[in-house]
Amino acid sequence: MVVRLYLSLAVVVAACGDSPSSVPSSDAPEAVVDAAMPDALDERVDDPCPATTACPVPPSLTRGAGLVAIDRCAFPLAPTTTDYAGTIAALSLKLDRVTMADVVADVNRTADVVSAGQVPGSAPGVKSAFRWNSGDESVAYWIPQGITGSFDGTATGKVGDRKVVLVSWYYDKDSDTGSTVEKGVRIAVVDVTNPADVKYRFALLVEPTGSATAPSYKSVPIHAGGLAWVGDRLYVPQTGTGFRVFDLAHILKVDSLDDRIGFDAASGTFAAHGYQYVIPQVQRISSTHACQSVFSFVAYDRTSTPPSLVTGEYDSATIQGRLYRWPLTESGALQLTKMDRVIPSAAYFMGESHVQGALARNNTWWLSSSRPTGSAGELVRTKESTTSVRLGWNDSPEDLAYDPQRDSVWSLSEGLNARYVFDAARASISP
């Protein structure tokens, strides 16, 4: 598809829209088919598990005693049957299709860069840090959660010549007085190329609706507790279900900044609650078992064979939360077996509580936990059947991601008026 020249829009930005101010604000068809389709049949592997497996019973667990391996066969996932390709192709003919580089070149908000010592808590080895602008720091109904970046998504760790961090924010309608709609999830696209001058803007995640002749989209009302950018895919966990997968190769620029969602027949325009860009969903991967897996966070691990996604379960009441490792194909898709399902390559009981994010590298795991009192956080370094090590971390911790170019770990906090994003040297948290 030929990308059209963009017309500047003389549109009043809606509240929670794409305003750069400090006020809290929202901001080729063939290729679409390829992105929306599951792996080709010849990419599938033999299925290693029986059709059904009993749910593992938690053993007697001791906090800090390390991970406990369990039967991975109890937790299969499978793609749902919805095909979004035709609708995305139709949307791409009605709206300007842009690249991630285009979005990064169009950042419209300035972050508040802070020193390492200003990050609340005791995270070791902090290399760089920032807070959001004052409006995004203080808005109660948008809450930051997941983190990934071009260090996950590209071989060079950059988009063009820019280093990019993505952060998911979920919308809490109950905290937005008078709101009657679910606005879903927005993604902060952050240019961190120069750690002393950090800028960003938001894009909205959307699920295509309608048909190829009458396309539209709706918001995606999920918690979005983690993010993993793998190639053109953006994996977002859905708490009680599995994954939503979004296509970063088909970002669309909408033609209205009204505070509504989708196509409006009266005006003939598309809007996204005041945001300029939308990222469409291309696939859902859902649980097909009765073991009640929870998908609280996700991270990309390129050191495993094959590379994998790691996910885990937030549990504030017990230490029986589980971790999973999901194998990926060379294209970055989840590896399907010949039984049309995804089997984790490993599963564990964590033996830890309040886990908000997990990261694995060469079989060493790091877990960010909000267990300490007073919103303090800790980072737990652990392995299978190995005594865990507890390290200081930031207050109100959330997701984790590893940056191989900087050899550092990115994380963030969610507290109102205390929302920090930082990276810490891996050497400071390694054995």
122 and 424 in contact (C-beta within 8 Å)? no
Sequence-distant (6+) residues with CB within 8 A of 105 are none
Q: How confident is the prediction for the chain on average, in pLDDT?
A: 92
Regarding pTM above 0.75, the answer is yes
Q: What average pLDDT does this structure show over 268-280?
A: 98
Segment holding 110, helix H or strand E: strand 109-110
178-224 pLDDT per residue, tens:
999 999 999 999 999 999 999 999 999 999 999 999 999 999 999 99
Beta bridge partners of 203: 187
Q: What is the pLDDT of residues 73-118, one digit of tens each?
A: 999 999 999 999 999 999 999 999 999 999 999 999 999 999 999 9
Q: Give the model confidence (pLDDT) of 367-412 as tens digits.
A: 999 999 988 999 999 999 999 999 999 999 999 999 999 999 999 9
Under the phi-then-psi rule, with left for phi > 0, alpha for psi from -120 to 50, and beta for the rest, what region is 60? Answer: beta
Q: Are 45 and 39 in contact (CB under 8 A)?
A: no
Q: What is the pLDDT of residue 17?
A: 61
Q: How far apart are CA 254 and CA 257, in angstroms?
A: 8
pLDDT single digits (tens) 6-19:
333 333 333 446 65
Over residues 226-260, the pLDDT tens digits come to 999 999 999 999 999 999 999 999 999 999 999 99
The domain limits of the chain are: 29-37+64-428
Q: Strand pairing of 185-191 and 164-171?
A: antiparallel
Task: Tell me the one-letter amino acid at 202.
Answer: F
Q: What are phi and psi of 74, to 5 degrees?
A: -80, 0
CATH architecture of 29-37+64-428: 6 Propeller (2.120)
> Letter for the amino acid at 277?
Y
**Tell me, what's the pLDDT at 375?**
83
- Say whether the peptide bond before residue 306 is cis (omega within 30 degrees of 0): yes
Residue 2, pLDDT > 70, answer no
Identify which of 171, 183, 180, 170 has the alpha carbon closest to the alpha carbon of residue 272.
183
